[in-house]
């Protein structure tokens, strides 16, 4: 499994190097950056957030004219790496890859996080939007969502689901699924999506909720079975898999995203330069093709102010979901 992940990362990284060569280097009128930039990924290698970071790092480096180094700092559902960046100097040389787990769901449901998602960061923009997918080990004797629900109810207490950590999107989404349908699927939190995927493939856990990006190869090769996707419409890579809207579960039909943020009080000029660089990267046709190939969606042009607003709105959305459905995490 580790060899497979490493090969996939090498392919993604190599594709990034090739496509990045066509990207223009923006003029450095502000003098920034003058040295390498560290891009902190608050999860272990191999998961969707890590894949997004590695997909963007070489492209961003080409546009900025400086090396962008990916630094995985996993643990506590992404809180350790995120807190590290929140405490870093506000000079634009330490950035974090944000996700709904670290900057929306975690803050909405987890008390005493070591950072404040709304005030400790300077949001820059989105990297991508990602369809979520409900997955099971392909050895289980169910073929679709209806059979899955019936089988879980017929065998209570025998099901476990893997997540990338307490307070993650997978954690809250699966608890919402349990609450809405009266299911009994127990939570097994991991330090990251990569290790959760390993145990799902091995059959140590039976269910997972994750991004399509990091699971597409195992769906394609038949090791995992996709039962439903959270996306605006059916995903072209999985045309036979229904959305949660189609299954009458609209609350679960939210895409995830990854984004970019700096520590709070980072100068506006640096935030704007990073935003401009990201727009150059995301407008490149090679980037759009690469995103589609890995099952990601090129996001709309979200300014730093708009990105901050989306974070705040989604935090409140998930707080309301927990309260309305009486979910205990």
> Helix (H, G, I), strand (E, B), or coil: what is residue 224?
strand
**pLDDT at residue 7 above 70?**
no
Q: Are residues 293 and 152 in contact, defined by beta-carbon separation less than 8 angstroms?
A: no
284: domain CATH number is 3.40.190.150
**pLDDT at residue 181 above 70?**
yes
Strands 94-99 and 37-41: parallel
- Whether 328 is in a domain gets the answer no
**pLDDT at residue 3 above 50?**
no
φ, ψ of residue 305 to 5 degrees: the values are -65, -40
Residue 167 sits in the same domain as residue 118: no
Q: What is the pLDDT of residue 252?
A: 93
Q: What is the pLDDT of residue 307?
A: 97
Residue 141 sits in the same domain as residue 236: yes
Enclosing domain of residue 210 = 132-254
- Whether 151 is in a domain gets the answer yes
Q: Are residues 294 and 12 in contact, defined by beta-carbon separation less than 8 angstroms?
A: yes
Q: What is the pLDDT of residue 17?
A: 44
**pLDDT at residue 18 above 90?**
no
- DSSP string for residues in 31-82: ---SS-EEEEESS-TTSHHHHHHHHHHHHHHHHHTS-EEEEE---GGGHHHH
Q: What is the pLDDT of residue 47?
A: 80
Q: Are residues 259 and 276 in contact, defined by beta-carbon separation less than 8 angstroms?
A: no
Q: How far apart are CA 28 and CA 7, in angstroms?
A: 35
Q: What is the pLDDT of residue 24?
A: 65
Q: How many domains does the chain have?
A: 2
- Whether 163 is in a domain gets the answer yes
Put the strands of the sheet holding 185-189 in their side by side order: 185-189, 159-163, 207-211, 132-137, 224-230
- Whether 329 is in a domain gets the answer no
Quick: pLDDT tens for 270-304.
Answer: 999 999 999 999 999 999 999 988 888 899 999 99
Q: How far apart are CA 248 and CA 268, in angstroms?
A: 43
Q: How far apart are CA 193 and CA 191, in angstroms?
A: 7
Q: Are residues 77 and 106 in contact, defined by beta-carbon separation less than 8 angstroms?
A: yes
C-alpha angle 251-256-259 in degrees, rounded to nearest 5: 145
Residue 221 sits in the same domain as residue 150: yes
């Amino acid at each position: 499994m580790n060899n497979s992940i490493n090969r996939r990362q090498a392919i993604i990284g190599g594709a990034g190097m090739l496509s990045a060569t066509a990207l223009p280097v923006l003029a450095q009128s502000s003098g920034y950056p003058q040295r390498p930039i560290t891009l902190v990924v608050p999860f272990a290698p191999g998961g969707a957030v890590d894949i997004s970071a590695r997909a963007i790092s070489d492209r961003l480096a080409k546009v900025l004219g400086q090396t962008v180094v990916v630094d995985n700092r996993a643990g506590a559902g992404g809180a350790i790496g995120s807190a590290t960046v929140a405490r870093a100097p506000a000079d634009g040389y330490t950035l974090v890859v944000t996700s709904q787990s670290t900057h929306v769901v975690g803050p909405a449901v987890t008390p005493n996080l070591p950072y404040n998602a709304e005030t400790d960061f300077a949001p820059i923009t989105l990297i991508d939007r990602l369809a979520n997918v409900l997955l099971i080990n392909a050895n289980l004797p169910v073929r679709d969502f209806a059979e899955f629900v019936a089988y879980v109810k017929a065998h209570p207490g025998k099901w476990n689901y893997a997540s990338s950590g307490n307070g993650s999107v997978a954690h809250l989404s699966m608890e919402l699924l349990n609450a809405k349908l009266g299911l009994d699927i127990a939570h097994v939190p991991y330090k990251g999506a990569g290790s959760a995927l390993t145990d799902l493939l091995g059959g140590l856990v039976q269910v997972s909720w994750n991004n399509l990006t990091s699971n597409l190869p195992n769906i394609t090769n038949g090791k995992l079975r996709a039962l439903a996707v959270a996306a605006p419409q059916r995903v072209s890579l999985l045309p036979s898999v229904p959305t949660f809207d189609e299954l009458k579960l609209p609350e679960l039909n939210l895409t995830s995203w990854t984004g970019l943020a700096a520590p709070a009080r980072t100068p506006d000029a640096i935030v704007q330069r990073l935003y401009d660089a990201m727009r150059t990267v995301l407008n490149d046709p090679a980037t759009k093709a690469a995103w589609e190939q890995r099952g990601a969606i090129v996001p709309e042009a979200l300014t730093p102010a708009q990105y901050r607003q989306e974070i705040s709105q989604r935090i409140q959305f998930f707080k309301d979901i927990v309260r309305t459905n009486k979910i205990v995490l």
